[in-house]
Structure 1
């Protein structure tokens, strides 16, 4: 584990404690904290259980915040991977009978399931130094306290 990973984990731990202190109401957090929460949720959920689980658990709003945050911190490749995953699953969100991410998975063609699986893998393998980018973008204000 690198120093960047350790510092990123400190940022994530701090923002999760802030979220817990406001009763898990993300809307009460400032913009930077909402972005950190969206990035934390994307990184941990997509890496562990995949994009559809992420989308089902945290929603479209969280996904959109994460895409914007990734672009803002200088991670355009990872933002594009996340956007591509959303472009595959997004059209299925409002279909009749879709109540969970499993319903979305079942409504995808085999080709789209394969594309989504490959994008899930690509999300964690992007060459961008995500931990460093997150710490450099959000860390100065957080570590100054």
Structure 2
């Protein structure tokens, strides 16, 4: 604080308040390459407060050409290709299961056919036919010295 002088009260002291003036930011103009041997035209602008600003005329900056975006994103293409691959695999798995089921049915029918054919052959042999055959009667038999005595 200020040193107190004798006979001066704090309320009598003069206080000066300084407020800074804000500075508006200046946007830097883009640099434009100038061809050698040519001098750009000088332009003057009158500001609203009456000041005159003189300088070189600057062409407005041209925006960079936009890069053409693809019609379909790469992610969508990858998802579609994955779906196509999955569908192809599923189709193959369906064909594989169909092939296994058909092979199982074929083996089952071959077993049934073998049972019918060989079962009929054995049945004919066991039951015999009415054309005549050999009848064997088994009685008490005695074997002596490897000879049958009946």
| TM-score bracket, shorter-length normalisation | under 0.3
Length-normalised TM-score, structure 1: 0.16
Higher strand share: 2
**More helix per residue: 1 or 2?**
1
TM-score, normalising length: structure 2: 0.15
